[in-house]
Amino acid sequence: MKKFLSGNEAVVEGAMIAGCRFFGGYPITPSSEIAAHISARLPQVGGKYIQMEDEIGSLASCIGASLTGLKVMTATSGPGLSLMLENVGMAIQAEVPCVIVDVQRGGPSTGLATKVGQGDVHQVRWGSHGGYPVIALASSTIAETVEFTIEAFNLAEKFRVPVFLMTDKIIAQLREDVDLDSFKDYPIINREPASENDEFLPYRAESLTDVPAMSAFGGKHLVRASSTTHDQRGIPTSDPEKITFKNERLFRKIQDRADEICRWESDLQTGADAMVVSFGISARSAKQAVIEARAAGKKVNFLKLQTLWPFPDKAVQEASEGVSRIVVPELNWGQVALEVERVVGKNIETILVNKTNGLIIQPEEIIAKL
């Protein structure tokens, strides 16, 4: 069934396909339609919507509901994300699956409430104190927005980690045809249930890349979830060995398994001297720029990042082989460009094409740098 969906509606369709059963929200432009639609959809399947008193409460309620065994989601924009950060850390530490949709708008602060921005790339990764990894996806089409919402749930459940879906004001409100039937057989991942046979440990892990199996509050096991650094029983610990194991595992279960997580779309040309790397709404301008540059006889590689965190180092390395410069169009002061530069080093020139005035980047502004 083809539907003419906006990005915000696409998030709701993806969430329903993934099996979302709880949404804790707080209104904020330009994400509000997600809450409006899902508040009507969830009770139709026995799910629950609650509008909390602030964004701190909305993500906190999601974390609580997730621990009862439900798939949970919230949606916000930059200012709300700023308030949610303590709970991002909570979900990382307590290892609670949750999906956070960040419909980006222009900053800083209240900034440009109704205009586009892409300035939250580093905030989602580094905003929570301690600097532990999360997963973030970025969609640039409406079909991708449906798919990546499902994928965000899958990754959250699989890795017991907060997963961000990053869209923006334009993606949220532009409409494209999407065939929802094409997601009928899309794989759905559910959290691994803890064994009924072994002694139950809420954070049981053998290796540094393990993700502990889960039990829900109210089930057979007595579950402990904790924001304090804890051992495998969920009890606070000051034993350096146990702390090392826990913290290193929080890092490695994401970073060492980046290959299982990272997705991108590349379109490479033999003999290319330049490359365009982009994501989200800016990737649409970038794609058009590459088409026009090639039509004018230039050889250009194109790389669209669909995963932003863990950063797809491998994709950037492979796609940049042989090029002398990389153009990175983005609606911020060079957040992805900084990562690209980290990956490729100084031998390849990284050129930022940016805008922070609420407008999108035009293809010709990218072509001028190729």
Residue 216 CB, nearest distance to other proteins (Å)? 8
Here the tokens at position 296 are 């004018």
Given a contact cutoff of 8 angstroms between Cβ atoms, the answer to whether 284 and 140 are in contact is yes
Q: By CB under 8 A, tell whether 63 contacts other proteins.
A: yes
Q: Select from 67-75, 114-122, 245-253, 326-334 the region that touches other proteins (CB under 8 A).
A: 67-75
Among 18, 28, 60, 92, binds other proteins (CB under 8 A): 60
Q: By CB under 8 A, tell whether 242 contacts other proteins.
A: no
Residues between 337 and 366 with contacts to other proteins, criterion CB under 8 A: none
Q: Select from 83-91, 141-149, 286-294, 320-328 the region that touches other proteins (CB under 8 A).
A: 83-91
Of 201, 314, 306, give the one whose Cα is nearest residue 255: 314
Residue 46 vs 271, nearer CB to other proteins:
46
Q: Select from 4-12, 39-47, 115-123, 326-334 the region that touches other proteins (CB under 8 A).
A: 39-47
Q: Give residue 247's Cα distance to chain centre.
A: 21
Residues between 172 and 231 with contacts to other proteins, criterion CB under 8 A: 216-228
Question: CB within 8 A of 264, min separation 6: which ones?
Answer: 303, 304, 305, 306, 307, 312, 315
Given a contact cutoff of 8 angstroms between Cβ atoms, the answer to whether 73 and 98 are in contact is yes
**In which element (H, E) is residue 303 found?**
strand 300-305
Q: Is the dihedral of CA 270, 275, 279, 282 positive or negative?
A: negative
Residue type, 276: V
How far apart CA 278 and CA 178 sit, in angstroms, is: 23
Here the tokens at position 24 are 């804790």
First to last CA, the chain: 41
Q: By CB under 8 A, tell whether 36 contacts other proteins.
A: no
Among 235, 296, 359, 368, binds other proteins (CB under 8 A): 235
Residues between 87 and 116 with contacts to other proteins, criterion CB under 8 A: 87, 90
Q: Select from 42-50, 181-189, 246-254, 327-335 the region that touches other proteins (CB under 8 A).
A: 42-50
Number of residues forming the site for other proteins (CB under 8 A): 47
Q: Select from 38-46, 144-152, 161-169, 342-350 the region that touches other proteins (CB under 8 A).
A: 38-46
Q: Select from 56-64, 99-107, 127-135, 256-264 the region that touches other proteins (CB under 8 A).
A: 56-64
Residue 351 CB, nearest distance to other proteins (Å)? 42
Residue 34 vs 300, nearer CB to other proteins:
34
Question: CB within 8 A of 28, min separation 6: which ones?
Answer: 55, 76, 77, 79, 80
Strands 162-168 and 135-138: parallel
How far apart CA 73 and CA 83 sit, in angstroms, is: 16
Residue 83 CB, nearest distance to other proteins (Å)? 11
Residues that bind other proteins (CB under 8 A): 22, 24, 40, 42-48, 50, 52-54, 56-57, 60-70, 72, 86-87, 90, 216-228, 234-236
